[in-house]
Structures are given as C-alpha cells and as structure tokens.
Amino acid sequence: MNIENKVAVITGTKRIGSAIGKVLAGKGADVVLTYNRSKEQAEDAAREIRQKRRKAMALQADVSRPADIQVLVDHVNQELGRIHILINMASIYGSKPFDEITEEDWDANMSINLKSAFLCAKAVVPGMKAEGGGRIINFTDWIAASGRPRYKGYLPYYVSKVGVIGLTEILALELASLNILVNAIAPGPILAPPDLSSEEDLEVRKATPLGRWGGENEIAKVVLNLIETDFITGECIRVDGGRHVS
C-alpha cells in the first residue's frame, strides 16, 4: 500500500504512538491520534503533523466502548474520509501479585488491551472494504510473542496480550479476501520509563543482546513496512533487541 494521501488512525498515542503518527505524516498520510487521558501529548503531535502540511486530529475516545469508537469513526469519515490504516496501540500495563488481582483488574486488561482492538477493527473494516483494502496493525508484547511468561505479577496483562496475537491471526484469515492485511508488533525494550532507576536501566541493557534501548523509530520502521507490504499478513514481529533469545 502506498501511504501517501491515506488516512491513519492510531489509538493510544502516548510516547511511541505520537512518534509513529509523525513518521506516517512524513510519508504523506493524514493522521488521527486518539487518546483517553494524554490530551496534551496527542494535541502537540497533531500540531507537529499539521506543520508537515498534512491533516491531523487529536480525538478523545474510550476505545473499550463501542459507542465511543463509532462516534470516532463517523467523525473521521466526515472530516478526512475513509480510514485506510488502523494502528491499535491503546494499552494498560501494571504489576500485581496473583492473590491481589481482582475481577476489575482482569476486565480492565481484557477491555483495553484486547477488546478495543477487536472493536476498532470491526468499526473500520466496512470503510476499508469500500476502499479496496487496508492495513490493521495490533500491538502485543515481546514476552507474549515468546510463547511463555517470564515474570510473575502480570497475569491479566500477559493473557490479554497473548489474545492480541490470536486476534491478529484470525483477523488476517477473515479479512484476507478483502485485501485487508492484519499484523502485530511485539515491542521489547524500546523506551525507558521516566521513573526507571540507573540500576534498573543497566539491568535491562544487560538482558538485551544488543545492549541498548531501541527507541521509538525502530517501531515506526516496522509499522511502515507492514503498511507498505502487500504480502505479509497474520504475522507477529518482535522488536526487542534480541531479548527473546537471551
């Protein structure tokens, strides 16, 4: 798919999502950055994109709610046209011991990390079908993509991210005849959390064969490839500096 003049929607635009939006705009796409609470960052990214002479919107939406998603899609269709590219990045992440996990914790992870990707895909597919095809890129986690858990304390998060891989594979099969390609990206150590200690930073670097954090541009490169390709679908690509082989 040629990215130029296409409409891309990115859910969850904090940090990496904003960077991806700017890269897509640099390739000629119009970009919609959705957020739940990170309004300032989404609006800053939208302003930068408009400076690249591309259209951009920052829109608030709870993508675990079908009504919010439909309002979002209808608004984008009216203002920018049909959506060609959907990048599902909305996610929550947190650690809690097994005996402290609640039903609410489980439901929140499943709704935001997994169900939202399904609901967003369901909402954009009719427009992609009318356009003759599209691209859906979901985001999972390098640990989920490695086939086994490695750390305790992340039960609902891990299960939801494994579910994203399964969703990606079955959507790729379901939508192939419509020329809608569906893939997933499984990031590893890309950006250090702002509250990470120097000791924790060193520990991550030592555990990563390439010995460094990747940076958001490494994710953007893979996103571009998965949009531009016409023959990769149903794949989950780890971008983790080799963590899964260490």
Give the Cα separation of 197 and 16 in Å (integer): 21
Q: 14 vs 122, which has greater pLDDT?
A: 122
Judged on CB neighbours under 10 Å (0-12, 13-18, 19+), 211 is: exposed
CA distance 227 to 230: 8
Are 56 and 28 within 8 A, CB to CB? no
Annotated active-site positions, please? 157
CB 142 within 8 A of CB 187: yes
| Mean pLDDT (whole number) for 84-97 | 96
Q: Are 42 and 73 in contact (CB under 8 A)?
A: no
Do 34 and 59 touch, CB atoms closer than 8 A? yes
Single-letter amino acid, residue 205: R
From first CA to last CA, the distance across the chain in angstroms is: 35
Q: What are phi and psi of 141, to 5 degrees?
A: -150, 145
Q: Residue range 79-83: average pLDDT?
A: 97
- Residue-wise pLDDT for 201-223, tens only, equals 999 999 999 999 999 999 999 99
Inform me whether the pLDDT recorded for 195 exceeds 90. Answer: no
CATH fourth-level superfamily of 7-245: NAD(P)-binding Rossmann-like Domain (3.40.50.720)
CA distance 45 to 31: 10
Q: How far is CA 35 from CA 9, 104, 208, in A?
A: 11, 21, 31
At residue 147, the pLDDT reads 85
Across the chain, mean pLDDT equals 96
Six-digit token pair at 102? 């609640």
HSE toward the beta carbon, residue 245, CA cutoff 13 A:
7
pLDDT at 68: 96
Q: How far apart are CA 194 and CA 189, in angstroms?
A: 13
Average pLDDT over residues 24-28: 97
The domain limits of the chain are 7-245
Cα 109 from Cα 148, distance rounded (Å): 18
Which amino acid is it at 19?
A: A
Element (H, E) at 239: strand 236-239
